[in-house]
Structure 1
Amino acid sequence: MSLGDVAGLIAALAFAFLVFRLGSVIGKAGKILDETRLSLRSTTENVQPTLLKLTDTVSLTNEQLARVDGITTNVSAMTTNVNALTSLFAATLGSPVVKVAAFTYGVRTALSGPAKGGRRRRRG
């Protein structure tokens, strides 16, 4: 066996060792990819029902918001109606009540007679 044959044998063994190590690394990478695939599958199976429940929750929330919007609209209309009723009450009853009160005060003052110190004088 010559020196070239020994060098070739060493190179062949080194290449075989390199192929063996590379194969084991690729095997480990394959196992990691299999675990990743299983993990993604379980995550997908767990997330899909959650997303469906979330969709239902958002739908129910939208319905409730629509109801609240309807209630708000009705309260606004009711506020407008109360405001109009208050204005109508003040316009129809407020002025006559003030006039009646002024008239009764005047009648009461007139019937009570002159004041003790003489006649009251108006200022202004």
Structure 2
Amino acid sequence: MSPGQIAALIAAGAFVLLVLLLAIPLIKLGRTLDEATIAIRKAHENSTPLFTEANTTLTHVNTQLERVDGITANARAVTGNVSALTSLFTATLGGPLVKAAALSYGVSKAVRARRARKSGADTGAGRTRRGRGGRK
């Protein structure tokens, strides 16, 4: 055997070894791709019931939202009625109540002023006799 043939034989052995070393990751990659394909197929098969249930859930949510819209409309109507009633009450009874409050305030102030004048007249004479504000 010539040295060139020996070198070719060594190169062929190295190439076989390289192919064997690369075959192992390629086989593992193939298994991984098979598992991924199975997982995608299962996910696709299970997505139909999921979408059906989601559609049912959305239908129920839309029904509830329609009810909430009705409740909101009723609350808006009640708010408008309360506002109108408040305005009517203020227009009807607000003015007379303010006048009555002003009258009672004026009367109580006049009574206090009269009492102060009356008690001031009684103590005013005592102040002049005792000197400094009626102290003993």
TM over 0.5: yes
For 2:40, the equivalent position in structure 1 comes to 40
| Structure 1 unaligned residues grouped into runs of 5+ | 99-124
**Cα distance, 1:81 vs. partner?**
2.7
State the distance in 2 between where 1:7 and 1:73 align.
93
1-side partners of 2:79 and 2:17: how far apart? 89
Match status 1:24 vs 2:24: yes
2:115 paired residue number: none
Per chain length, whose mean CA-contact separation is higher, i.e. which structure has more relative contact order (CA < 8 Å, sep 6+)?
Answer: 2
TM-score where L is the length of structure 2: 0.56
Residue 71 of structure 1 is matched in structure 2 by 71
**How big is each residue's C-alpha offset from its partner over 1:76-121, in whole Å with a ceiling of 9 and x where there is no partner?**
21332344356556766x59xx8xxxxxxxxxxxxxxxxxxxxxxx
> Using the alignment, how far apart are the partners of 2:91 and 2:3 within structure 1?
125
**What's the RMSD between the two structures over aligned residues?**
2.8
Further displaced range: 20-29 or 3-12: 20-29
Aligned residues: 97
Q: Give the superposition deviation at 1:30.
A: 1.1
Deviation at 1:34, TM superposition (A): 0.4
How many Å separate the matches in 2 of 1:31 and 1:62? 45
The normalised TM-score by structure 1 is: 0.60
2: CA distance, partners of 1:36 / 1:79: 59
Structure 2 CA distance for aligned equivalents of residues 87 and 10 of structure 1: 106
